[in-house]
């Protein structure tokens, strides 16, 4: 059942867009590190609380180190680094991505769409529902189209950041065969000549 592959495709889309964003956004590395440090601070603080007072006291040095990193990178704080929807919105021609990402998210988390995929109404049962015998994932074509597009986007971004662009020609050829452009740019940046 291909629905099990949806979280992998969702991750690939998120990674491809993030790589593209990093490749065309000034100080994106610092912004991403600030966001990672901010999330790490929340993690370390919460883990210290779980561990109890003695361990929490031992964790204060780690917490202080992470707080220092957050403070040092504060100037690079960015909505785009923290929110996928803003990364998508910053890239030219990527406005279609977020709607598909939401669809993939709906089939990656235990919500109504995923539930509808696995169960059906069954009024003659005690619960009023039953598992489907052979559920068919109706978005297979979308899934199989998004994966290579996201991979191409990530590979193109990596090549753009590699000295000499060793994969540019084959990636451009792949993009042409896919019927897409392999140009990554910000919304506010004109196409390169």
The answer to whether residue 45 scores a pLDDT higher than 80 is: yes
HSE (side-chain half, CA atoms, 13 Å) at 139: 19
Going by C-alpha positions, the residue among 188, 187, 1, 17 that lies closest to residue 100 is: 17
Going by C-alpha positions, the residue among 135, 113, 128, 156 that lies closest to residue 16 is: 156
- What average pLDDT does this structure show over 16-21? 95
Kindly report the backbone phi and psi dihedral angles of residue 187, in degrees, each rounded to the nearest multiple of 5, phi listed first. -55, -40
Q: What is the dihedral of CA 8, 10, 14, 15, to 10 degrees?
A: 20
- What's the pTM value of the predicted model, to 2 decimals? 0.83
Q: Give the pLDDT of residue 30.
A: 96
Greatest distance between any 2 Cα atoms in the chain: 67
Q: Give per-residue pLDDT as tens, 92-103.
A: 988 889 999 999
Token pair 């451009």: residue: 172
The answer to whether residue 143 scores a pLDDT higher than 90 is: no
Who's near 122: CB < 8 A, 6+ residues apart? 128, 129, 130
């Amino acid at each position: 059942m291909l629905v099990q592959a949806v979280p992998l495709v969702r991750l690939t889309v998120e990674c491809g867009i993030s790589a593209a964003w990093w490749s065309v956004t000034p100080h994106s590395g610092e912004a991403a590190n600030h966001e990672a440090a901010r999330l790490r601070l929340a993690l370390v603080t919460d883990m210290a609380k779980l561990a109890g007072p003695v361990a929490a006291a031992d964790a204060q040095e780690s917490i202080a180190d992470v707080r220092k990193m957050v403070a040092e990178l504060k100037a690079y704080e960015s909505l785009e680094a923290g929110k996928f929807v803003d990364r998508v919105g910053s890239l030219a021609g990527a406005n279609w991505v977020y709607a598909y990402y939401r669809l993939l998210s709906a089939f990656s988390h235990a919500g109504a769409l995923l539930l509808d995929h696995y169960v059906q109404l069954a009024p003659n049962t005690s619960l009023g529902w039953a598992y489907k015998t052979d559920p068919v994932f109706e978005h297979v074509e979308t899934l199989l189209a998004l994966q290579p597009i996201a991979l191409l986007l990530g590979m193109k971004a990596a090549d753009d950041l590699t000295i000499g662009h060793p994969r540019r020609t084959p990636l451009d050829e792949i993009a042409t065969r896919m019927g897409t452009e392999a140009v990554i740019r910000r919304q506010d940046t004109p196409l390169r000549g």
